[in-house]
């Protein structure tokens, strides 16, 4: 089968012919029909995330946003059958630790990410092997296609969970920093709940997309002081602010955008500049009783609610797909991400 390989950091990826995986008794082999090119993959291509334990030996196949069809199953997998259309959360989980048993599989003690750890190759390939498939596979509703599943596979489900972690209520003012894939997803979800969303970015084109997805106001942080603009629009500050980028400036601005009692939700992981360490205005957080909340992925049990909302048409991740590409376009997309030029999702649908 054909698969993309990262062989050297920040250099063009290569396409190789590699053996098709053979599933063990607890595994599933999935024929990939669509796979999103995620900014997390771009981070991996840069060699980032070593500070959180994601530093695989190269070469490795990236890709963790996918939809496809089961081609072969291990003997112990009973809840699925060959031919089922499936996806999987990007965070592989063991299914038996204390967090998995409580329904918090995104916090699994043994968590692994497809295409970011050795021994768990990703979906920039014709096939992907899903270990512990009984727990990790998610069956797709009949009217949710693989491109939509790929669009929902990391950034969208992350934005969805982030809005839930923010405890967003109808009528709340919600500031979203970063109108890329995660940010646009969060905007769409918060708008569906009935919140009043303010999108913050430095790209007017992305802010136009944010308006299309439901933002009632936009702020270009290159032109104005974003926290001040948000406090003026909301007459006091946002109830919830989400940072979808993980950059020091956006994290701090997100916190300063909040009114008293507000909640900051950190979705974006940081870059090599921050390496997870960012100064915070502790006195402001304390005196205003600000909550600072982390948000990772979306627990396996919550996937059903997300997919039901997509199947009913209340949410539409596929509308965020910028273009469909081939394996041969991956390096080009990564280079566009270097310049923050991508808008929405690029999804691999041709495996050549």
Tens of pLDDT, residue by residue over 127-145, are 999 999 999 999 999 999 9
Greater pLDDT, 183 or 343: 183
| pLDDT score for 227 | 98
Confidence of residue 47 (pLDDT cuts 50, 70, 90): confident
Checking if the pLDDT of 339 tops 90, the result is no
| pLDDT score for 157 | 95
Tens of pLDDT, residue by residue over 152-188, are 988 899 999 999 999 999 999 999 999 988 999 999 9
Helix (H, G, I), strand (E, B) or coil at 341: coil
| pLDDT score for 97 | 98
Per the CB < 8 A criterion, the answer to whether 73 and 21 are in contact is no
Greater pLDDT, 216 or 342: 216
Number of H helices, E strands in the chain: 12, 17
Helix (H, G, I), strand (E, B) or coil at 169: coil
| pLDDT score for 312 | 94
- CA separation (Å) from 97 to 49, 107, 134, 272, 281? 24, 10, 15, 31, 36
Per the CB < 8 A criterion, the answer to whether 348 and 326 are in contact is yes
pTM comes to 0.92
| pLDDT score for 281 | 96
Q: Is 248 exposed, middle or buried (0-12, 13-18, 19+ CB in 10 A)?
A: middle
| pLDDT score for 49 | 80
Tens of pLDDT, residue by residue over 294-322, are 999 999 999 999 999 999 999 999 999 99
- Select from 193, 213, 209, 199 the least CA-distant residue to 309: 193
Checking if the pLDDT of 239 tops 80, the result is yes
Tens of pLDDT, residue by residue over 248-301, are 999 999 999 999 999 999 999 888 888 889 999 999 999 999 999 999 999 999
| pLDDT score for 12 | 96
Confidence of residue 343 (pLDDT cuts 50, 70, 90): confident
| pLDDT score for 153 | 86
Q: Name, in order, each residue with C-beta under 8 angstroms of 271's C-beta and a sequence gap of 6 or more.
A: 43, 48, 246, 247
Over the chain, what is the mean pLDDT?
95
> What mean pLDDT is predicted for residues 56-60?
93
Helix (H, G, I), strand (E, B) or coil at 242: strand
Query: What structural domains and CATH numbers belong to the chain?
Result: 2-155+298-350 (3.90.180.10), 167-294 (3.40.50.720)
Checking if the pLDDT of 52 tops 80, the result is no
Checking if the pLDDT of 53 tops 90, the result is no
Phi, psi for 323 (deg, rounded to 5) = -165, 160
């Amino acid at each position: 089968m054909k698969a993309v390989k990262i062989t050297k950091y920040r250099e063009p990826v290569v396409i190789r012919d590699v053996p098709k995986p053979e599933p063990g008794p607890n595994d599933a082999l999935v024929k990939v029909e669509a796979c999103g090119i995620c900014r997390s993959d771009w981070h991996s291509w840069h060699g980032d995330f070593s500070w959180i334990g994601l530093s695989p030996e190269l070469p490795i196949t990236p890709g963790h946003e996918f939809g496809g069809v089961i081609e072969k199953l291990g003997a112990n997998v009973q809840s699925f059958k060959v031919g089922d259309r499936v996806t999987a959360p990007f965070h592989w989980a063991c299914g038996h630790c204390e967090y998995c048993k409580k329904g918090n599989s995104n916090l699994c003690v043994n968590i692994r990410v497809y295409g970011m750890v050795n021994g768990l190759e990703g979906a920039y390939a014709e096939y992907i092997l899903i270990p512990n498939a009984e727990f990790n596979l998610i069956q797709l509703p009949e009217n949710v296609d693989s491109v939509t599943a790929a669009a929902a596979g990391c950034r969208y489900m992350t934005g969805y969970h982030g809005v839930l972690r923010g405890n967003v209520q109808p009528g709340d003012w919600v500031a979203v920093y970063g109108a890329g894939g995660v940010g646009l997803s969060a905007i769409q979800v918060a708008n569906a709940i009935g919140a009043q969303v303010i999108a913050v970015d430095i790209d007017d084109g992305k802010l136009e997309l944010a308006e299309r997805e439901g933002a009632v106001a936009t702020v270009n942080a290159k032109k104005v002081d974003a926290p001040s603009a948000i406090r003026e629009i909301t007459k006091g500050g946002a109830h919830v602010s989400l940072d979808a980028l993980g950059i020091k400036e956006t994290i701090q601005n997100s916190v300063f955008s909040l009114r008293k009692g507000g909640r900051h939700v950190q979705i974006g992981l940081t870059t090599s500049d921050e390496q997870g360490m960012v100064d915070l205005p502790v006195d402001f957080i304390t005196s205003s009783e600000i909550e600072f909340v982390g948000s990772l992925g979306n627990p396996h049990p919550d996937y059903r609610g997300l997919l039901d909302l997509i199947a009913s048409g209340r949410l539409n991740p596929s509308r965020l797909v910028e273009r469909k590409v081939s394996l041969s376009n991956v390096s080009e997309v990564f280079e566009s991400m270097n310049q923050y030029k991508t808008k929405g999702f690029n999804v691999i649908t041709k495996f050549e």
